[in-house]
Amino acid sequence: MTRSWSDNDGVTALSRAADSLAALAEAIPARGQVAPSIDTSAAELPIQNLPAHVRFARIWEQRRASVLASAESRRCPLCGAAESRTWFLTQDGYRYDICDQCRMIYIPEVVPMAAWDRYFADIPDAREHLRSQMAATITVDALDAHRVRFSRYFELIERHGAALRGARLLDIGTYTGGALKIAAERSLEPEGVEGLEEAVQFCRAHRPELRVTLGHAEALPEPVRRQGFDLVTMWETLEHTFDPMRALAGAWQALKAGGLLGLTVPNGRNVQCSVLRDYCFFAYGGYQGIGHVNLFTPETLADVLDRSGFDLVYLETEFSTDWRQMAYYLQLRFERIYCYRNLVRHGEFTRNPEPSLGVILNWLSPALTRIENALQAGPIAFALARKRPR
């Protein structure tokens, strides 16, 4: 029987999570202590360096018709089937399909990397904007945020039997090396590969202590593939790949026998994505590089890992739906939702949260967050998998 991401699997997951109701009960006293104040931070778009995003989105609006004409077609990136049905159209001009065979959610028409290279070469100030986006990822605040996030991932990896001290780690799609910094702090021996040449140069200039090589996730440099790493990580990388099976084959080759792969992807089963669809800010095909062209659910993520020669060790989801966006959507107040269309239209987002909505969300959010993650429906999925011998 084919399992569906949209059926009642969530109910089964809840019944298995025996402690989820206890966790919910635990949350009740905590929410009583939350002052009915207004959380202004929730009114900011959860992306760094908004001006650069606005600039790229507006350039994309002018040029997208010609660039989309260079998109390349692909079959289901998980099972290779050609039959799929349309789920919805994204606001930046793409189409999400769901595979008839394996239920994979993907964008079949993808603008390839080479077209993006030409695109940016054509825009005079593109490099400057890219650099300003990168600069925002190496501030003290950004490093602190990375420390919180990646420390947790490394602790999960350690809890599943991997020794971290002295372990050789390859981080695929390392961008400006945030995870490498934290890995080094935790006594791992990390190195990274990154497909964006601008990011590799940025790393070398600003973080010379890191080892970063130029290489696409789908075409790892031969010397890297042969090194027999103890750990390979791919933090929010797989959703951007034209051929995720190929990227995972590279990770498999780079690992030593029995080595662990840790990765995160946006979760296609997330409530915000399922309900808001084109209004969800993380449902996009790409307006400044390849976007989220693969949207894995816990089921399809487990499937792709299995097909790529890995045994799934652990899977969870984390973070929480932005319920404020859901409330706006249900009230049909589309102008207030954080999405690509409003990014282009307004260039900024309102910071005038409404007191009544703030009070309700302060009360409900802790409990809702626990429930959605018990259902494996949080916005980010984290998976840990072990290399299976061939």
Show the tokens assigned to 226.
């042969």
Sheet-wide strand order for 168-172: 212-214, 189-194, 168-172, 229-235, 255-266, 380-387, 310-318
76 or 134, CB closer to Zn ion?
76
82 or 163, CB closer to Zn ion?
82
Smallest distance from Zn ion to CB 75, Å: 8
Show the tokens assigned to 183.
């890995």
Smallest distance from Zn ion to CB 79, Å: 3
85 or 390, CB closer to Zn ion?
85
- Strand locations in 54-174, DSSP E? 72-73, 84-89, 95-99, 105-106, 109-110, 168-172
Half-sphere exposure of 170 (CA within 13 A, CB side): 29
Smallest distance from Zn ion to CB 85, Å: 12
| Alpha-carbon distances, residue 74 vs 81, 219, 249 (angstroms) | 10, 18, 18
Q: Name residue 194's beta-bridge partners.
A: 214
74 or 211, CB closer to Zn ion?
74
190 or 298, CB closer to Zn ion?
298
Smallest distance from Zn ion to CB 74, Å: 11
- Tell me which residues touch Zn ion (CB under 5 A): 76, 78-79, 81, 99, 101-102, 104
68 or 79, CB closer to Zn ion?
79
Given a contact cutoff of 8 angstroms between Cβ atoms, the answer to whether 358 and 38 are in contact is yes
Task: Provide the greatest CA pair distance for the chain.
Answer: 58
Name, in order, each residue with C-beta under 8 angstroms of 357's C-beta and a sequence gap of 6 or more. Answer: 324, 327
81 or 114, CB closer to Zn ion?
81
Is residue 56 classed exposed, middle or buried when 0-12, 13-18 and 19+ CB atoms within 10 A define those classes? Answer: buried
Give the helix/strand (H/E) hosting 26: helix 20-32
Grouping H, G, I as helix, E, B as strand and the rest as coil, residue 232 is strand
79 or 135, CB closer to Zn ion?
79
Smallest distance from Zn ion to CB 205, Å: 42
Smallest distance from Zn ion to CB 232, Å: 24
Give the helix/strand (H/E) hosting 299: helix 298-307
Smallest distance from Zn ion to CB 104, Å: 4
Smallest distance from Zn ion to CB 375, Å: 23
Show the tokens assigned to 366.
């802790």
Sheet-wide strand order for 95-99: 84-89, 95-99, 105-106, 294-295
User: How long, in residues, is the chain?
Assistant: 390
Smallest distance from Zn ion to CB 382, Å: 23
CA distance 61 to 93: 9
104 or 381, CB closer to Zn ion?
104
78 or 361, CB closer to Zn ion?
78
Smallest distance from Zn ion to CB 7, Å: 17
